[in-house]
């Protein structure tokens, strides 16, 4: 019985050893196969991308706004006499100079008044001369009359009063003639400023009405724009800062300008501050009232590294791009500075140099370390 147990125990040990050797051989075979697979796995295929060089340039921090172009010199010309309009000399859009006659009213009555004033002035002049001669004669008689007196004091005083009254009458006639001349001059509607006729409200045959607008004259040579900016921007706005104005009415045409003045107070109702900017259109006139898009330059960085915006990848709060180094994509986190329409500044701390090229097409198909192939331009 003991012999049978011993035989069974030996058989069990032999079977265990045999299974262990088979398992070890299987593990060795598996490891060898894995190494062979790893050894013969081909490298990941390069992704075709388009890349762009970095550039050095100037970029500015800007503030964008819109405003209507306006003129600070807009004058309504109104008749000062109620007379029929007999001639209109200008039309809307005409350029006029200060002192130029724009229209004429009927002046027959005014001319008659001037003629009458001239006659009255001549009469008073003659009366004054006669009174002066009589006074001088009486004065000589008084001075040479002796103790008995040839001329009484009463007569001499009357002569003096007559002379003085004639002088007063003559001065009154001068004033009357000046007024008649003024009335005649008011029959011509004269531009008080140089500018452009923006509105014409009278026609030949109309009865001019005192106080009713006949013409509007606008000075377009000094256009302005008025901005109302939030008070938080007061610290960055300064007199003299440059700006550029464009308009859909003039595609491709830009006008330079600058901040002329900043209001010293903030509007309590809106919390805004009034900013007036002057435009410099040169020889070209900008229509008053046109809507302009304004780009105000707050600060400028020169000679900085610029990255094409097409290279940037936005992922949550992170912005990065892929640089191509040694044929592989390298992810670079971007610290953004100032920007313009096409480029963004690589601010200090961004791991890029002028020697780098960045992926502008294909960033969505690559990752860190992926092999890339640059497409021909």
**CB under 8 Å to 223, separation ≥6 — which residues?**
69, 70, 71, 278, 279, 281, 286, 288
SS3 48: strand
Would you tell me how many other CB atoms lie within 10 Å of the CB of residue 338?
19
Torsion angle in degrees (nearest 10) through CA of 298, 304, 308, 312: -90
- What residue ranges do the domains of the chain occupy? 48-59+302-374, 64-71+219-301, 75-106+187-218, 108-185
pLDDT at position 37 is 44
Length of the chain: 377
One CATH from 4.10.240, 1.20.140, 1.10.287, 1.10.10 for 108-185 = 1.10.287
Same topology, domains 48-59+302-374 and 75-106+187-218? Answer is: no
Is the domain spanning 48-59+302-374 CATH 3.60.10.10? The answer is: no
The b-or-e profile of 185-204 (16+ CB within 10 A means b, else e) is ebbebebeeebbbbebebee
Calculate the CA 320 to chain-centre distance.
Answer: 35
- Element holding 359 (H helix, E strand): strand 357-361
In 170-290, at which residue ranges do the beta strands (DSSP E only) sit? 188-190, 195-200, 215-218, 223-230, 242-247, 250-266, 272-280
Q: HSE (CB half, 13 Å, CA atoms) of 46?
A: 13
Given a contact cutoff of 8 angstroms between Cβ atoms, the answer to whether 101 and 90 are in contact is: no
The CATH architecture one would assign to domain 64-71+219-301 is: Beta Barrel (2.40)
- What strand order describes the sheet that includes 85-88? 85-88, 101-105, 188-190
Fold of 75-106+187-218: OB fold (Dihydrolipoamide Acetyltransferase, E2P) (2.40.50)
pLDDT at position 285 is 74
pLDDT at position 42 is 57
Interhelix angle 153-185/108-144, nearest 10 degrees: 160
Cα 152 from Cα 148, distance rounded (Å):
10
SS3 19: helix
Which residue ranges in the chain fall short of pLDDT 70?
1-43, 145-151, 377
């Amino acid at each position: 019985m003991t012999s049978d147990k011993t035989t069974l125990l030996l058989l069990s040990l032999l079977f265990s050893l045999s299974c262990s050797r088979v398992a070890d051989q299987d593990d060795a075979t598996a490891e060898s196969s894995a190494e062979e697979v790893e050894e013969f796995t081909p490298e990941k295929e390069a992704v075709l991308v388009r890349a762009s060089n970095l550039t050095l340039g100037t970029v500015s921090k800007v503030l964008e706004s819109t405003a209507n172009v306006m003129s600070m010199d807009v004058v309504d010309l109104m008749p000062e006499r109620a007379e029929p309009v007999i001639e209109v000399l200008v039309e809307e859009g005409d350029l006029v100079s200060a002192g130029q006659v724009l229209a004429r009213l009927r002046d027959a009555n005014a001319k008659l008044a001037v003629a009458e004033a001239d006659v009255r002035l001549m009469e008073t002049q003659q009366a004054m001369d006669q009174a002066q001669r009589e006074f001088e004669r009486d004065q000589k008689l008084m001075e040479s009359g002796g103790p008995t007196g040839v001329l009484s004091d009463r007569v001499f005083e009357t002569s003096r009063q007559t002379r003085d009254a004639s002088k007063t009458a003559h001065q009154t006639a001068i004033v009357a003639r000046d007024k008649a001349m003024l009335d005649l001059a008011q029959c011509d509607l004269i531009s008080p400023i140089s500018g452009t006729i923006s509105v014409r409200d009278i026609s030949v045959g109309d009865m001019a009405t005192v106080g009713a607008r006949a013409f509007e004259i606008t000075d377009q040579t000094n256009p302005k724009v008025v901005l109302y900016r939030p008070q938080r921007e007061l610290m960055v706005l300064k007199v003299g800062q440059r700006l550029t104005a464009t308009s859909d009415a003039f595609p491709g045409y830009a006008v330079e300008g600058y901040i002329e003045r900043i209001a010293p107070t903030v509007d309590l109702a809106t919390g805004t501050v009034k900013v007036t900017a002057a435009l410099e259109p040169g020889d070209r006139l900008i229509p008053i009232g046109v809507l302009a898009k304004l780009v105000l330059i707050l600060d400028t960085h020169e000679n900085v590294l610029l990255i094409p915006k097409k290279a940037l990848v936005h992922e949550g709060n992170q912005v990065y791009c892929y640089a191509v180094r040694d044929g592989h994509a390298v992810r670079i986190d971007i610290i953004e500075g100032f920007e313009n329409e096409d480029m963004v500044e690589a601010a200090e701390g961004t791991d890029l140099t002028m020697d780098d090229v960045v992926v502008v097409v294909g960033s969505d198909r690559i990752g860190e370390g992926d092999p890339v192939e640059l497409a021909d331009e």
